[in-house]
Structure 1
Amino acid sequence: MLDPHRPTLRYRLDKGDTLGVIWLALGSVALTEIAARARPDAIVLDVQHGLWERASMEAAIGVVPSDIPVLVRVAENSPVAIGQALDAGAEGVIVPLVETAKQARRAVDAARYPPRGSRSGGGIRPLGDFVDYVHAADRAIVVCVMVETAKGVKNARDIAAVEGVDMVFIGTGDLALSLGTFPNFDARHEVACSKVHAACQAEYTLCGTFTGSLDAARAKRERGYRMVVTANDMDVLGKGFAQATSGFAAREKAAPAAALPPDGVYGAPPALNGEARP
């Protein structure tokens, strides 16, 4: 969670790092703790499409060491959604479905305290050291807005130019749906992503993108994207379970059938009071 004296996320981005993040949607605090042990550059809690609720989000942020920043993809571009994520201790928000500069300014406004914005003061964690938190928050909090529609691509440069937008993050899945290319991420999709990236470079705004594999994350890092997804919980668990199940089944088919053990080992149950079990 955000340490007002050492805002890790802002520091890492300012010094030019590309962040490889773990993306968590399943709403598990225990899984968040396990993910943090892997020491990723950052962790993203997906509230928009994930299973997180207010209490579980707050608890998950609490189990992550303060030197690993947590961002929240909020459910919507609203003061309540953004304020709750920041009050829980997130160092940044990822705001979905931003299509215009006006919508981007709305997200920035909700993430900043007056007089720079309209964020309400409160929350359990900020009140622990509220004076220092307020002094640090406007500088420390990172605002990422998602471009993930054809309209957003068209307005990408205007969005990237909004003061207070720290990063434009490309939502590749929704973008494919909007462009009519889903489930294929074809040339039109790549051109759209490149346009967003170029717009960000023109406005000196950071650009990140959702990546579905480690290889894709490495490739996007080489192309200058500043935040990519190295793993997400649904894929890691799903592929791990599938690999274990298929591996076990394959070995069973390859090996000869084992002889059954004699009765009394774990076959027929032993007698009870001189009588057989039913």
Structure 2
Amino acid sequence: MDRISRFLPGFGAAAGTDTTEPDTNNPGVFCDELLGLQRVMADAQNPKRPVIGSWMMFPGASLARMIAQMGYDFIVVDCEHGNIDDAAMHASVGAIAAEGCSPLVRVPAPEYAYVKRALDTGAHGILAPFMNTAEEARKLVSYAKFPAQAKSIETSALASAPLSGVRGVGSPFAPAVFRQTFPEYVRTANRNTFVAVQIETLPGLENCEEIAKVDGIDMLFIGPNDLASSMGYPSHLHESIPEVQEAIKRILAAAHNAGKYAGMFCTEAAHVRARFEQGFDLMNLAGDVVALTQWNATELGKLSDINKGKGKENVVFGQTYY
């Protein structure tokens, strides 16, 4: 199956067995097919493989398109720390999805307006930073889900009660990204929208088991730098700090014990491999800033014998601030 068709309705899904042609004129029809990042995650479970993505902090549809063409499963469009405004977010999400890659927007904060704006672009999901309590997680899920169409859905056709939220209906852009009609998108979005939260504070760590149990939370994602910082350690040394590594193990176990995915921020291939072997489901492989700075520092360093300037001293060699 090619990278584009795995996002299209009608191609079957790992978690769905009903191959009946959907009735696109009936908003009460329940679609059991997974699309977008939900589909990617489900397909990666059998046979088991890591879901690997990249991280985008610079704006630009052309940049997003080129990174998506590399073969990544997803790209995080970073609207928290990245130089990406609302217009750039819209442009990047569409460009990424057009290449058969899942756009996942990291919102600036777990607030209603940010979540609505991100999902209205057609993003396959959101990544919310600084999740500290189960109550905050429940609010986040409600922001990401439309009100359930319970009055038009045959209860007997549902495997369980549908999720319901307060997301506003109105964006014409999201259905286009999913290649659906407006009624199809509204009917299926609650199932397909991927909701991930970052555990990166001491309160989040202490409440990670309860956060993972919240219905509608799909993944716990670890921000190791902020986690280490909140524990009183230098953020960039998190890989070598036993207490931080124990905290990471706890969050991983909390996610899997609740039947949820676990994600981890990584900066190089060796880290991705190690975290996958540890049991993590989704990892990013650095991102645009790291790639740009590391390449320039490495290549400039090879000219140190003839380059007598101070350029090398001013290069951020692979330093990350996630």
Q: TM-score range by the shorter chain?
A: 0.7 to 0.9
SS in 2 for 1:139: helix
Q: Which residue of 1 aligns with 2:87?
A: 55
Distance 2:188 2:256 in 1: 27
Decide whether the 8 Å contact of 2:124 with 2:193 is kept in 1: yes
Distance 1:122 1:31 in 2: 28
Equivalent residue for 1:81, pick from 90, 99, 114: 114
Aligned length: 253
Q: Aligned-pair distance for 1:127?
A: 5.8
Decide whether the 8 Å contact of 2:69 with 2:99 is kept in 1: no
Letter in 2 for 1:8: G
What do the CA deviations read for 1:150-195 (whole angstroms, capped 9, x no partner)? 1111111100000000001111111011001123210111011111
Q: Aligned-pair distance for 1:29?
A: 2.5
Q: Aligned-pair distance for 1:136?
A: 1.6
Decide whether the 8 Å contact of 2:65 with 2:99 is kept in 1: no
Distance 1:154 1:137 in 2: 31
Q: Aligned-pair distance for 1:223?
A: 1.1
Equivalent positions of 1:77-226 (< 5 A) are: 77-115=110-148, 116-126=164-174, 128=176, 129-183=181-235, 184-185=237-238, 186-226=241-281
Distance 2:107 2:74 in 1: 16
Q: TM-score under structure 2 normalisation?
A: 0.75
Decide whether the 8 Å contact of 2:172 with 2:182 is kept in 1: no
What do the CA deviations read for 1:17-66 (whole angstroms, capped 9, x no partner)? 42111011122332212101201011110101101111111111121225
Q: Which residue of 2 aligns with 1:266?
A: none
Distance 2:307 2:253 in 1: 53
Letter in 1 for 2:62: A
Decide whether the 8 Å contact of 2:68 with 2:99 is kept in 1: no
Q: Which residue of 1 aligns with 2:316?
A: none
Decide whether the 8 Å contact of 2:223 with 2:264 is kept in 1: yes
Distance 1:75 1:4 in 2: 29
Q: Which residue of 1 aligns with 2:23?
A: none
Distance 2:166 2:202 in 1: 29
Decide whether the 8 Å contact of 1:4 with 1:132 is kept in 2: no
Q: Aligned-pair distance for 1:231?
A: 2.4
Distance 2:209 2:175 in 1: 37
Letter in 2 for 1:199: A
Q: Aligned-pair distance for 1:217?
A: 1.0
Q: TM-score under structure 1 normalisation?
A: 0.86
Q: Aligned-pair distance for 1:252?
A: 5.9
Decide whether the 8 Å contact of 2:128 with 2:197 is kept in 1: yes
SS in 1 for 2:302: helix
Structure 1 unmatched runs, 5+: 254-278
Distance 2:109 2:210 in 1: 20
Letter in 1 for 2:95: V
Compared CA separation, residues 66 and 246, structure 1 to 2 (3 A): closer
Compared CA separation, residues 220 and 41, structure 1 to 2 (3 A): same
Q: Which residue of 2 aligns with 1:259?
A: none
Q: Aligned-pair distance for 1:4?
A: 6.5
Q: More deviation in 57-66 or 89-98?
A: 57-66
Distance 1:132 1:25 in 2: 32
Larger-Rg structure: 1
SS in 2 for 1:169: strand
Q: More deviation in 109-118 or 59-68?
A: 59-68
What do the CA deviations read for 1:47-104 (whole angstroms, capped 9, x no partner)? 0110111111111112122521110010111111011111111001001100100000
Q: Which residue of 1 aligns with 2:42?
A: 14
Q: More deviation in 180-189 or 49-58?
A: 180-189
Q: More deviation in 41-50 or 205-214?
A: 205-214
Q: Aligned-pair distance for 1:105?
A: 0.5
Distance 1:94 1:127 in 2: 20
Distance 2:305 2:260 in 1: 50
SS in 2 for 1:45: strand
SS in 2 for 1:93: strand
Compared CA separation, residues 127 and 24, structure 1 to 2 (3 A): closer
Q: Aligned-pair distance for 1:249?
A: 3.4
Between the two proteins, what is the percent identity of the paired residues? 29
